[in-house]
Amino acid sequence: MYHIFHGKHLLIITNQPDTWDTFTPDFIFKNPKPKQIQEVLKLSKKATQKLKIALVGEPDAIFRMLLGKFNRIIAAGGLVFNEHNELLLIKRLGKWDLPKGKLEPEEEMEQCAIREVMEETNVQNLTIRHSLPDTFHTYYRDHQWIIKQTHWYAMFCKKQQNLKPQTEEDIEAVEWFPFESLDIKKLKTYPAIRYIIKSYQKPTPNMGL
């Protein structure tokens, strides 16, 4: 199953009937062909309200068709915790976010995740504990649609750090938040970030590739 945050909309790619009921989609497309995928994207572009659209069939095949409509970018980042079970968040352009960034040529995914977290927050001595589900979100830039796939890792470091926002990347602040009391519904953030934080709180089905 895949969750793709397409602007303000959510595209759900699944072959599990019970999943459709869980997400109560506004539209369901069964076994979509490339032409129908294009119709889905047009529908979401015109809609003024948030939509949940289910694409039902063989998930990997549907996902590959969808990828053909976008320029794909690969990134990696981390949910960083300390010994007090606090989560490290960055504030970028007025919204709380998780540290992440693009994969460089010849770079391993875990190396990218650690590098980006260190660059954006200045934390040191990071260790990766385990991987988390990928997230997918889209945006429009330079006259083209882009889909960003971000590989996430649960990480650990000591709280005693010289936190420093990477201002050249428009990061305004870096702060620790008590994880158990973090109200993700009220947090001013992005849907994909809300999703990955919630997926850490409550395990979700493997989104796969």
pLDDT tens readout for residues 14-36: 998 676 667 889 988 999 998 89
- Mean pLDDT value of segment 49-70: 92
Percent of the chain with pLDDT over 90: 76
Cα separation, 2 vs 208, whole angstroms: 7
- The 10 Å Cβ neighbour count of residue 118 is 17
Residue 16 pLDDT: 81
Beta bridge partners of 49: none
Walk me through the domains of the chain, giving residue ranges and CATH numbers: 2-67 (no CATH), 71-201 (3.90.79.10)
Average pLDDT estimate for 70-97: 96
52, with CB counted inside 10 A (0-12, 13-18, 19+), is middle
According to the model, what pLDDT value does residue 7 have? 85
Q: What is the pLDDT of residue 202?
A: 56
CA–CA separation, 180 and 124 (whole Å): 24
Partners of 153 in beta bridges: 78, 131
Is the pLDDT reported for residue 40 higher than 60?
A: yes
Q: Cα–Cα distance between 204 and 209 in angstroms, integer?
A: 15
For residue 156, which amino acid is it? F
Mean pLDDT of the chain: 91
